[in-house]
Every structure is written in C-alpha cells, then in structure tokens.
Amino acid sequence: PTEARNVTVTGAGGQIGYALLFRIASGQLLGADVPIKLRLLEIPQGLNAAEGAALELHDGAFPLLQSVEVTDDATRAFDGVNVGLLVGSRPRGPGMERADLLEANGRIFGPQGRAINAGAADDVRVLVVGNPANTNALITAAHAPDVPAERFTAMTRLDHNRAVAQLAAHLAVPVTSIAGLTIWGNHSASQYPDVFHATVDGRPVIDLVGESWLAETFIPRVANRGSEIIRVRGASSVGSAASATLDHVFDWVNGTGSGWTSAAVASDGSYGVPAGLVSSFPVRSVGGAWRIVEGLEMGAFSRARVDASVAELVEEREAVRALGLIPD
Ligand code: NAI
C-alpha cells in the first residue's frame, strides 16, 4: 500500500480551506490511491472553524483520510510535512498601506518558513495561495535555507485556468482544445496572460484573434476576473481557487504530460526575470519538479507586459528587504 502523505493546510478555517479540505480528503490533491494525514493550522480565532471542518471531515468517512489534526502551532503543523498549502494570509484591507500589508505577511510567512525548515520531510512541496502570494512565497523560502528554493511556489493556476476558459469560450471550443497558454509575472492585476504560443486544436491562436481583442478584452478580463467575481458573487473566488490549488499540486506531483501550465516558481534568470524572484512562468512538471519551458520567442507586445509585472515583483522584493523581512 502507498505510504500516507502529510498535508498541511494553513488558514484551514477560512473559505478556501472549507472548499479545499473535502476534495483533498477525496483524493483530488495527490491521487485516488494516496492516503492522507491532514494538519490544519489556524490562528486562535480561527480554531473553532477548523475544528468544525475536522468534525465534518470525520463525517465524510473518506477512505483515504487517516487523520486530521487541528493546531495553532506552526512547528507542530509542519513537522514531517510533505505538501504545505499556505492559504492563510493577511490580504489587503481597505486603506491598508503596502508596507503594512507586507509587514503583516512577513510576520506570518517568516515563522512558517522557519517551521518548514526545521521539520519538513525531505520531499516537501509548498504552494502559497494567500496573497500577495508571490512575495509571501519569497519570504517563506528565505526563512527555509535548508530546503531547495524550487520547492516554494505561488499560485497562478487560477489565472491560467481563467485564461484557458476565456479563450475557449471566445473561440467556441472545449477547454481541452487549448494548449500553450502562459501566465507571466505576479498574481496581481499586472499579470500577463500570453496567447502568442497558444494553440487551438493545434492551430496558432494568434491567427484567430487580433491584438486589439487581446489588449482590450482578453488580458483585462483575465487580470481583473477576481474583482468581477467579487462584484457578482458578493464574495471572493473560493471554489475556483480551491480547484486551481488541487490542479497545481496534482500536476506538480504527477506530471504535466505533453503540454505546459503556469506556476510562480523561483526564477533562474530565464526570460530576463531576476534570479530568485518568485514569478509565474510556463512550466512543465517532470519527475516531480517544475521546469521552466525555455526558448519561447517573445515579441515587443509580450515583452513590455512581462517586464511591467516583473518590475512590480522587484518592487515588492525591495520593500520586504527594506522591512528586514528577507535578508539582503
Ligand atoms: P479567509 O479570510 O476566509 O480565510 C483565511 C483564513 O486564514 C482565516 O480563517 C484566518 O484565520 C487564517 N489565518 C490568518 N493568518 C493565519 C496564520 N498566521 N496561520 C494560519 N491561519 C491564518 O480567506 P480565503 O477566502 O480563504 O482566502 C485566503 C487567501 O487566499 C487570501 O489571502 C486570498 O487573497 C487568497 N487568494 C489567492 C488566490 C490566488 O489565485 N493565488 C485566489 C483566491 C484567493
């Protein structure tokens, strides 16, 4: 029988946690044959919600779910962790200054990085969902110097899935017809959804859509979809964010097959993205590790947009450095 994996979910008492936990327990994170031991990390005010979710997980009688432990102690939560889903964060509130936002998150992700460094399993994989996700992943990795930087990723899969769905709808084809799409940069409104290498049933997408549709409709639609969901639903994206979380980890562990997807990973300097920044790239998962898809040509339209989003990541990195949240 397959050995059980320790999966830690932070912010487990929150909205995404609630949408995520039952699907993890059903086998959608790692595969239908992998037993799971769940650890739910919350802050004291979130413990009741997490405890309630744990009771419901119990009631699900999930064959793969071996145990559920709820804690507010990061050291305990990350001891032996194989997969860490860092969902709990301090999102930007109304009128909140960027420095305050980054500082509040530094206080969350610094200690969590230290706990991962101290106790995680050798094969640990970390996905940061909580915003600002890319920079939170950077902070976490900076506090876990013994864990390879490539194990710390941030989620742009929701943006990727949104882009695939928008393109498929525009071209009136199934989502399975679309390949070769990329989200570049930051998981923020500056992100760049790139269709220049995308195909629809093998045909270049760029032969079927114009640059004005890209610039005026597609790119802003994808980049601002989160706000659209809030406006329509009256609450932020939760179900689709949970889905994308499962997609990211499932592909990371089980491979992407022939195509590629998007994930924010530590840059090795590819495509002019400064090394070490956690930026979204086209990626394949090979042998359980993300590999940046190299050698794609980038025209001026794409270059300007990638550069703008990467510049935002550089600014965020400088700001957290200035606050002492990562070493120089
Ligand atoms: P939520 O507010 O419902 O839940 C967050 C939970 O995290 C709360 O229960 C809170 O008590 C907990 N928490 C806060 N600090 C913590 C800490 N230090 N340790 C453990 N738990 C902690 O929020 P929701 O809707 O679940 O969203 C979570 C995050 O995901 C937000 O930052 C949101 O902006 C982000 N997000 C990211 C997306 C992406 O594509 N990368 C998509 C959608 C949301």
Q: How far is the CA of 80 from the centre of ligand 1 (A)?
A: 23
Kindly report the CATH number assigned to the domain that includes residue 259: 3.90.110.10
Q: How far is the CA of 122 from the centre of ligand 1 (A)?
A: 26
Say yes or no: 175 and 305 in one domain: yes
Q: Which of 39, 128, 129 to mutate to test the pocket of ligand 1 (most atoms within 8 A of CB)?
A: 129
Q: Is the CB of 87 under 6 A from ligand 1?
A: yes
Q: Is the CB of 89 under 6 A from ligand 1?
A: yes
Q: Given phi > 0 = left and psi -120 to 50 = alpha, else beta, which region is 73?
A: beta
Per-residue pLDDT at 197: 98
Q: Is the CB of 113 under 6 A from ligand 1?
A: no
Q: Is the CB of 14 under 6 A from ligand 1?
A: yes
Name the nearest CA neighbour of 185 among 323, 315, 320, 319.
Answer: 315
Q: Is the CB of 178 under 6 A from ligand 1?
A: no
Whether 98 has a binding-site annotation, put simply, is yes
Per-residue pLDDT at 98: 81
Domain-embedded: residue 324: no
Whether 13 has a binding-site annotation, put simply, is yes
Q: Which of 18, 41, 42 to mutate to test the pocket of ligand 1 (most atoms within 8 A of CB)?
A: 42
Work out whether strand 65-71 and strand 36-41 pair parallel, antiparallel, or are unpaired: parallel
Residue 74 CA: nearest ligand 1 atom is 19
Say yes or no: 81 and 204 in one domain: no
Domain end among 105, 135, 154: 154
Is 187 designated active site? yes
Whether 112 has a binding-site annotation, put simply, is yes
Domain end among 101, 135, 154: 154
44 preceded by a cis bond (ω within 30 of 0): no
Domain-embedded: residue 242: yes
Print the domain residue range for 181: 157-315
Instruction: Give the residues of the chain that fall short of pLDDT 50.
Output: none
Per-residue pLDDT at 282: 98
Say yes or no: 128 and 251 in one domain: no
Q: How far is the CA of 62 from the centre of ligand 1 (A)?
A: 25
Say yes or no: 217 and 205 in one domain: yes
CB-based contacts of 161, cutoff 8 Å, min separation 6: 240, 243, 244, 247
pTM for this prediction: 0.98
Q: Is the CB of 11 under 6 A from ligand 1?
A: yes
Residue 134: half-sphere exposure toward Cβ, Cα within 13 Å: 30
Domain-embedded: residue 82: yes
Work out whether strand 182-184 and strand 192-194 pair parallel, antiparallel, or are unpaired: antiparallel
Assigned token pair, 268: 């090795």
Per-residue pLDDT at 188: 94
Name the nearest CA neighbour of 262 among 274, 275, 278, 238.
Answer: 278
Q: Which of 8, 16, 159 to mutate to test the pocket of ligand 1 (most atoms within 8 A of CB)?
A: 16
ipTM: 0.99
**Residue whose CA is at the smallest distance from ligand 1 atom 29:** 130
Q: How far is the CA of 144 from the centre of ligand 1 (A)?
A: 21
CB-based contacts of 212, cutoff 8 Å, min separation 6: none
Say yes or no: 57 and 131 in one domain: yes
Say yes or no: 127 and 190 in one domain: no
Work out whether strand 178-179 and strand 278-286 pair parallel, antiparallel, or are unpaired: unpaired
3-state SS assignment for residue 184: strand
Domain-embedded: residue 327: no
Q: Which of 143, 187, 197, 248 is catalytic?
A: 187
Residue 128 CA: nearest ligand 1 atom is 41
Say yes or no: 163 and 309 in one domain: yes
